[in-house]
Structure 1
Amino acid sequence: MLETLVAFTGAAMLIAMAPGPSTIVIMRVAVRSGRRAGVAAVLGNEAGVVLWGVAAAVGLSALLVASRLVYDGLRIVGAVVLVWFGVRALWEARRRRGDEGAGGRGEGADVTVSSDAVGGGDSLWRCFRLGLITNVANPKAGVFAVSFLPQFVPVSVPTGWPVLVMLVGLTVVWALVDVVWYGAVLWLVGAARRVLGRAGVRRRLEQVSGVVLIGLGVRLAAETR
């Protein structure tokens, strides 16, 4: 059991380190609205992880594997969500440029705020929802949960440990590993906040994250199973 847990933790860490939509959204929220907002986005993302894990445990995620219609439906919804987030980021970058021009603020102007502030109109609840929606709207997360988690359930489950409990327990470990990794990401963003908080840099980051999110959305919409 201990060997299984160690192997699962290592695999979950490698998965967390792979960049994807959640990483982009969490970093954007942290740069835009501060550390607490980034933590809220992380918690939202992990709530999505837990939902997918529980769905896999009770067999609901298997529908994504068995039904092409269900998978494609969620895939299109996820693609629309990512493209919408990307468009919003590009619009925000354009608006910031207009504000800088109107206010006479130079390209290198420092607009750094407290790392614990929630600015830009982003409440903690909204940041939580951004993380949650990004994760839940990604059908790959569901397919991954139903194909990844069962591999680490021992063939001989210990007495008193039903498979359902094992899968939910592994899901919690998966979420905790994610929290550790994204915590490190937020720390790095916070350490670079003084640079990232400059108006010109923030605008470029909005543009880059917008383009990346739109690209991920288009790729998700165009891919075939």
Structure 2
Amino acid sequence: MIVRFVATTWLLAMLPGVGQALMLRQTLTEGPRAAVATILGTATGLLIWSVGAGAGLSAAVLADPAIYRALLVAGGVVLAGIGGRTLWGAIRQRDHTVAPASSPQPRGSRRAAYLAGVATNLANPKAGVFAITLLPAFAGAGGFLPTAGLGLLWSAVTASWYLVFVLLISRGRTFITRPGAQKALGSVSGIVLISVGTAVALGH
């Protein structure tokens, strides 16, 4: 289950979206240090979502197995839906490459970059949906601590991917933002997420 969870969160972090766009912007305009501060802010946002989900849903999950089953189904459907949209977006993606700036602009406040990461994550509905539906599904009926623990792991996995992403961009290796790379990433991620989502919904 842990391996499946890590794979799922890693793929979710790799998906082109708000988080990846924010890291790209911070790296190219503010510099890698600001991007790292934003990554820490994003990880903090994920922890906030996780603690809230664990505190609010653990009692209900423990009290009623039907709710736990409903969470499994809902989480699996959400995950498969994200995978389906990702796969469809990759198929329909038009050629467009984001070019890196020749040199970063003056670095802004690291505190501002950190807060931008927190705010963006807390405002991201995908993060909320994942925390509310999928964390309890993966954690099982163990209550708050397993959910919060998986939330910590989720934050670490997401931060790890963003660090790799920022490193690649900061060194000028923008192949990861090219149309071909994005299409391949979206296609593979979409198929895997659909498969994992189906397995979660079926209770496997």
SS at match of 2:25: helix
Q: Which stretch of the first structure deviates more once superposed, 5-14 or 167-176? A: 5-14
Aligned equivalents of 1:171, 1:139: Cα separation in 2: 16
**Aligned partner (choices 38, 42, 46) of residue 43 of structure 2:** 46
1:126 is aligned to 2:123? no
Question: Which residue in 2 is equivalent to 1:181?
Answer: 161
| Cα RMSD, aligned residues only | 2.0
Aligned equivalents of 2:121, 2:28: Cα separation in 1: 19
Aligned equivalents of 1:26, 1:111: Cα separation in 2: 17
Give the alignment's TM-score, normalised by structure 1.
Answer: 0.54
Higher Cα radius of gyration: 1
Q: Please give the per-residue CA displacement for 1:139-195, whole angstroms capped at 9, x wherever unaligned.
A: 33212211111111245x4xxxxx1000000000001101110011011111108x9
Question: Which residue in 1 is equivalent to 2:16?
Answer: 19
Question: Which residue in 1 is equivalent to 2:2?
Answer: 5
Aligned equivalents of 1:111, 1:181: Cα separation in 2: 24
**Aligned partner (choices 56, 62, 77) of residue 59 of structure 1:** 56
User: What is the identity, as a one-letter code, of the residue corresponding to 1:46?
Assistant: A
Question: Which residue in 1 is equivalent to 2:146?
Answer: 166
Aligned equivalents of 1:143, 1:153: Cα separation in 2: 15
Aligned equivalents of 1:23, 1:111: Cα separation in 2: 20
Does the CA contact (< 8 Å) of 2:32 and 2:166 recur in 1? yes
In structure 1, runs of 5+ residues without a counterpart are 61-109, 114-118, 158-162, 196-225
In structure 2, runs of 5+ residues without a counterpart are 58-100, 175-204
Question: Which residue in 2 is equivalent to 1:136?
Answer: 122
- Aligned pair in 2 of structure 1 residues 111, 7: CA closer, same or farther (>3 Å)? closer
SS at match of 1:176: helix
Q: Percent identity?
A: 34
Deviation of 1:120 after TM superposition, in Å, equals: 3.5
User: What is the identity, as a one-letter code, of the residue corresponding to 1:139?
Assistant: P
Question: Following TM superposition, where does structure 1 have runs of at least 4 consecutive aligned residues deviating by more than 4 angstroms?
Answer: none
